[in-house]
Amino acid sequence: MFDYKSFLKTVPNRPGSYQMYKDENTVIYVGKAKDLKKRLSSYFLKENNFKTKTLVSHIHHIEFTVTFSEAEALILENNLIKKYQPHYNILLRDDKSYPYLVLSKGKHPGLYYYRGKKRLDYEYFGPYPDSSAAKESLRLLQNLFPIRQCKDVVYAHRSRPCLMAQIGKCLAPCVPMTQEQLNNYQEQVNYVRLFLKGQNQEVLTTITQKMEECSEKLEFEKAAKLRDQLLALRRVQESQTVSGDLMFDMDVIAHATGQGICANHVLFIRHGRIIGSRSYFTNYNPNDTDDDPLNEFVCQFYLSSSRQGMYPKEIITDSEIKDSEVICEAVESITKRQITFLTNVRAERSKYLKLAKENAEANLLAKLSDKNTAKKRIESLEKILNVTGIEHMECYDISHTQGELTVASCVNFNRDGPDSQYYRRFNIEGITPGDDFAAMHQVLERRFKDPTKGLLPNLIFIDGGKGQLKQAEDVISRIFSLYPDLTPPLIMAVAKGEGRKAGLETLIKGYTHEEFHLTLDDPALQLVLHIRDESHRFAITGHRLRRQKARTHSSLEDLEGIGPKRRQALLKHLGGMKEVLNASVEEIKKVPGISSALALEIYDKLHGL
């Protein structure tokens, strides 16, 4: 038992953050307090609710960190929650980065949609609240400004205009351009840059002036093109005009709760326009009056590093945020920007709040419907298999093209549906091309190499027949025989039916080979097909990505001592990869920058000598 009386004597009356452990290394709860001693003492009162008493019963020890202010404690708490993902904290499970529109750097910049780690060779505009908002803006810009949309790899190897240039959507910088054409291209890039910064009027003024100049010089074709571009821009500006005088930047947040789930819906409004919306779901304990899911969501949401660049002036919520002042102080200390929380709003703002509330309730209803359906399906499966307590299921599938670049997928489902944080792909090597049995054997050996680490599923589905099932039985029985304290997962093969039609699948139980023939109206088969199809999709996507990467990869890139400049010189001088492979040592020597020794080395490596 944790000796809390002795521990509390060491705790100061200072602001700070604390972590509760259930053993030496596992954090089960992270919190912050204005007064650490008072807050931690409150956990050990006799009149506490069931959740708090359960939490206290698991405490092995408590660690705390004193901070200068409550705002610093909030920041530290947020970072620790993301680091440890404690069981008793409300977690905002959203690991996606925000999307951006980017202009590549270089002589002829291109415009792209981008999501991921920031790169030095891109100029970023955004972030956008969701992918649909970013993609819609990209589509609009591609119709307005004829700058290239192809990737740098494609652009670097083109020698003639593509279809986009032929239909007037690109100025074709991939072919030699005159100085005038080059200046025109740079002007279009500058227009995009101004447009993305919100300086629409400046773009309109600049294009108008240039159109008048071309008209005065009797360059009527150029003037006509500028006129068309000007009209298109004005139509866009008109379509984005908002009725009303509300031109603030604000986020509007409403929440709805039910069955232990809280749906937090955020409307992102910039310059009076809704530029995107998104729902975030968190779990909470409805029987715990101290559990405030909206407050916890707002704390994590606005202290997330991915929110940088998206802070509005106002944040409107449908109920009061008790930590609003602390959050404002914490945000200002991190970003040097001031934000304000509002609750009781009228007129235009109240309309947006009502809209957010309707969205939150609708999304919660959809979520609960999915959750109830998932529960019904898994209970039906447990009844058929005569087991209980299935919490996690995994499904494995193999994908390749005639044995080339085999990829295996592992997808995970819990009682609520897909759990993408545990999805994995495996590149299969060292097997006979097309041998699905060997591929299945390898992926299961790699997945369960050490079953004591990571999540252990209760049930494994194998996409295949008795051959794939036999591989799974061999691997699972051999590995788990080394760990007698662990319960091995159940194994079930999903064999395709006649004509591969859905609903004709045969389920084959591991070891006993008992067969189940279910119909499509059976919830258990619906669950099996869902996880099987998701595994199939994930495997095919991985294989296509690997195949695409292989096809854009040059064998010259594997040669030591051959950098980008020498590769380019080889291809340019000899006329392409086919000619490089057919070239003799004497022909390779003639390429600028290639010595005799290096030419011989290149020839030997390309021909496997």
d(CA 448, CA 38): 46
What fold does the segment set 4-84 form as a domain? GIY-YIG endonuclease (3.40.1440)
pLDDT of residue 198: 64
Cα torsion through 257, 262, 263, 264, rounded to 10: 110
Q: How confident is the model at residue 436 (pLDDT cuts 50, 70, 90)?
A: very high
Structure tokens at 61: 């020890």
Specify the higher pLDDT residue, 310 or 125. 125
pLDDT of residue 440: 94
Amino acid type, 548: Q
Instruction: Give CA separation, 584 vs 527, 557, 566, 574, 596, in Å.
Output: 60, 19, 17, 11, 12
Residue 521 in this model has a pLDDT that exceeds 90? no
pLDDT of residue 259: 74
Mean pLDDT of 194-203: 70
d(CA 183, CA 590): 37
Structure tokens at 488: 């091995």
Residue 428 in this model has a pLDDT that exceeds 50? yes
Question: For the chain, how big is the Rg over CA atoms in Å?
Answer: 30
CATH: 1.20.1530, 3.10.590, 3.10.620, 3.30.420. Which one for 250-366?
3.30.420
Amino acid type, 449: K
Q: ω into residue 109 within 30 of 0, thus cis?
A: no
Q: How confident is the model at residue 443 (pLDDT cuts 50, 70, 90)?
A: very high
- Across-strand partners of 63? 19
Return the percentage of the chain with pLDDT > 90, whole number. Answer: 21
Structure tokens at 284: 């909470």
| Average pLDDT for the chain | 82
Burial of 147 (0-12, 13-18, 19+ CB in 10 A): buried
Contact 414, 458 (CB under 8 A): no
Residue 199 in this model has a pLDDT that exceeds 70? no
Domain 555-606: what homologous superfamily? 5' to 3' exonuclease, C-terminal subdomain (1.10.150.20)
pLDDT of residue 240: 44
Mean pLDDT of 167-193: 82
- Across-strand partners of 426? 408
Residue 158 in this model has a pLDDT that exceeds 70? yes
Contact 327, 292 (CB under 8 A): no
Q: How confident is the model at residue 239 (pLDDT cuts 50, 70, 90)?
A: very low
Mean pLDDT of 53-61: 87
Q: What does the angle CA 252 – CA 258 – CA 262 come to, to the nearest 5 degrees?
A: 40
pLDDT of residue 125: 78
Mean pLDDT of 576-590: 82
Give start and end residues of each alpha helix (H) in 293-419: 293-302, 324-335, 347-385
DSSP string, 567-594: HHHHHHHHTSHHHHHH--HHHHHTSTT-
d(CA 486, CA 295): 40
Minimum mean pLDDT range among 235-249, 257-271, 346-360, 516-530: 235-249
Report for 67-71, 205-209, 220-224, 457-461: range of highest mean pLDDT:
457-461
Residue 53 in this model has a pLDDT that exceeds 70? yes
Structure tokens at 94: 């959203």
Residues of each domain in the chain carrying CATH 1.10.150.20: 555-606
d(CA 494, CA 440): 14
49 by DSSP, 3-state: which? coil
CA 335 and chain centroid, separation? 24
Report for 90-99, 154-163, 220-229, 594-603: range of highest mean pLDDT:
594-603
Which residues are CB-neighbours of 305 under 8 A, at least 6 positions away? Answer: none
Residue 407 in this model has a pLDDT that exceeds 90? yes
Cα torsion through 360, 361, 363, 367, rounded to 10: 130
Residues of each domain in the chain carrying CATH 3.40.1440.10: 4-84
Contact 36, 66 (CB under 8 A): yes
- Residue where the block lists tokens 């700058």: 147
- Residue where the block lists tokens 């006129």: 227
168 by DSSP, 3-state: which? coil
CATH code, 392-545: 3.30.420.340
Residue 467 in this model has a pLDDT that exceeds 70? yes
Residue 238 in this model has a pLDDT that exceeds 60? no
Residue 94 in this model has a pLDDT that exceeds 60? no
Q: How confident is the model at residue 244 (pLDDT cuts 50, 70, 90)?
A: very low
Return the percentage of the chain with pLDDT > 70, whole number. Answer: 89
Report for 31-40, 172-181, 370-379: range of highest mean pLDDT:
31-40
Q: Which of 343, 362, 363 is nearest to 353 (CA)?
A: 343
d(CA 89, CA 31): 8
Q: How confident is the model at residue 241 (pLDDT cuts 50, 70, 90)?
A: very low
d(CA 132, CA 130): 6
